[in-house]
Amino acid sequence: MSFVPVAAAQPGAPETGLYAHLDATDRYVHQSRDEALLTLLRRHGIETLAGLRILEVGCGGGSLLRTLLHYGADGDRLIGIDIASATVAGAGAALPGTPLAVANAAALPYRDGSFDVAFAFTSLTSMLDQREREQAAAETLRVLRPGGLLAVYDFWVNPLNRTTRSLRPNELRALFAGSRVEVERVTLAPPIVRALGGRPGLCRRLERLPWLRSHLLAAVIKERAQ
Ligand SMILES: C[S@@+](CC[C@H](N)C(=O)[O-])C[C@H]1O[C@@H](n2cnc3c(N)ncnc32)[C@H](O)[C@@H]1O
C-alpha cells in the first residue's frame, strides 16, 4: 500500500473523510501539518507507512494515529502510548484494532530498537518537567531502531497556554544531541488561521512568512551506531 496522494493533505484540496469533521481553522492547520509531515517522510525515503513498526508517544485521543492509518500505516503495527489512562480509553474506543497502552514516555515498556518510525506530536510541550522531557527523548530514541526516524511536531511559541511549555529549536537539538536533527518551522499560527476564517488561499499566502509559523517539525535520525 502507498500513501494516499499528498494532494489529499493540501490545504484547500477537496474534502476527504479525515478532515471533514473539523472546523475551517482546524482543517487548515491539520492539512497543512500533514502535508509537511508527508513531505518530511518522503524526504527521508519513506514512501509508504505500510509494513513499518510505528510508535506514537503521547497519543492523546488518537488524532495522529487516525491520520497515520489514513496514510497507510498498518493498524496492528501502530502503537500509541499515553500517560493518561482516561485518554487512552477514549482513543481505544475510537480505534479498535490499534494497540494502545497507558505508559510514561520517560520509561517506555518496549525493547531497544522495537520501532522503525516514532512520532512525538505536541507531547514534549506537555511535559513541563525538564528531566521528564529529557528522559522521554532518550527513551523514544532507545526504542527506535538504528537508522530509524523520529518525527517531532510541536510549538515553539504559545504564550496563552500555561499548561504547556514551548519547545525551542535549540532545546530540541539538545534533547537529541547524539542524533542528526533537521528542524523546520511550519504551521501558520492557529490564532491567525482563525482570524482568517481558515480560508486556505489567504492562510497559505501568510504561511509563506516563517515568522508567522508557530510550530517546529523535526526529523531526528537515530545514528546507526547508537
Ligand atoms: C496535546 S496532547 C497531544 C495528543 C496527540 N499527540 C495529538 O497530536 O493529537 C499531549 C499528550 O501528551 C500526553 N503526555 C504528557 N506527558 C506524558 C508522558 N510523560 N508520557 C506519555 N504521555 C504524556 C498527555 O497525556 C496528552 O495526551
Residue of minimum CA distance from atom 1 in ligand 1? 122
Ligand 1 atom with least separation from CA of 136: 19
* Mean pLDDT confidence for 194-208: 97
Q: Which residue owns the Cα nearest ligand 1 atom 8?
A: 121
Residue 14 has pLDDT above 70, yes or no: no
Average pLDDT rounded to a whole number, residues 168-172: 97
pTM, entire model:
0.94
Atom of ligand 1 nearest to the CA of 153: 8
Per DSSP, the residues of 151-197 read EEEEES--TT-TTS----HHHHHHHTTTSEEEEEEEEE-HHHHHHTT
Please report which helix (H) or strand (E) contains residue 216, including its range.
strand 213-221
Q: What count of other Cβ atoms lies within 10 Å of the Cβ of residue 211? A: 7
CA distance 6 to 53: 21
Q: State the Cα–Cα distance between residues 139 and 133, nearest whole angstrom.
A: 10
Site to probe by mutation for ligand 1, drawn from 66, 126, 140, 175 as the one with most ligand atoms within 8 Å of Cβ, is 126
Determine the average pLDDT of the residues in 193-213.
97
Query: Which domains occur in the chain, in start order?
Result: 23-221 (3.40.50.150)
pLDDT at residue 15, rounded to an integer: 57
Pull the grid cell for residue 196: 482568517
Distance 154 CA to ligand 1 centre (A): 11
Cα of 62 from ligand 1 centre, angstroms: 10
User: What are 27's three cell numbers?
Assistant: 482543517
Residue 213 has pLDDT above 60, yes or no: yes
Q: Whose CA is nearest to atom 25 of ligand 1?
A: 84
What's the pLDDT band for 53 if we cut at 50, 70, 90?
Answer: very high
Residue with the three cell numbers 506514537: 56
161 band by pLDDT with thresholds 50, 70 and 90: confident
Give start and end residues of each alpha helix (H) in 44-129: 63-70, 85-94
Is pLDDT at 165 greater than 50 in this prediction?
Answer: yes
Question: Which three cell numbers mark 174?
Answer: 539538545
Assign residue 13 a region (left: φ > 0; alpha: ψ between -120 and 50; beta: otherwise). Answer: beta
224 CA → ligand 1 middle, Å: 28
Give residue for cell 488518537. 62
- Protein residue with least CA distance to atom 9, ligand 1: 63
Ligand 1 binding residues, C-beta < 6 A:
58-60, 63-64, 82-84, 87, 104-106, 121-123, 126-127, 132, 136
Average pLDDT, the chain: 92
User: Higher-confidence residue: 224 or 59?
Assistant: 59
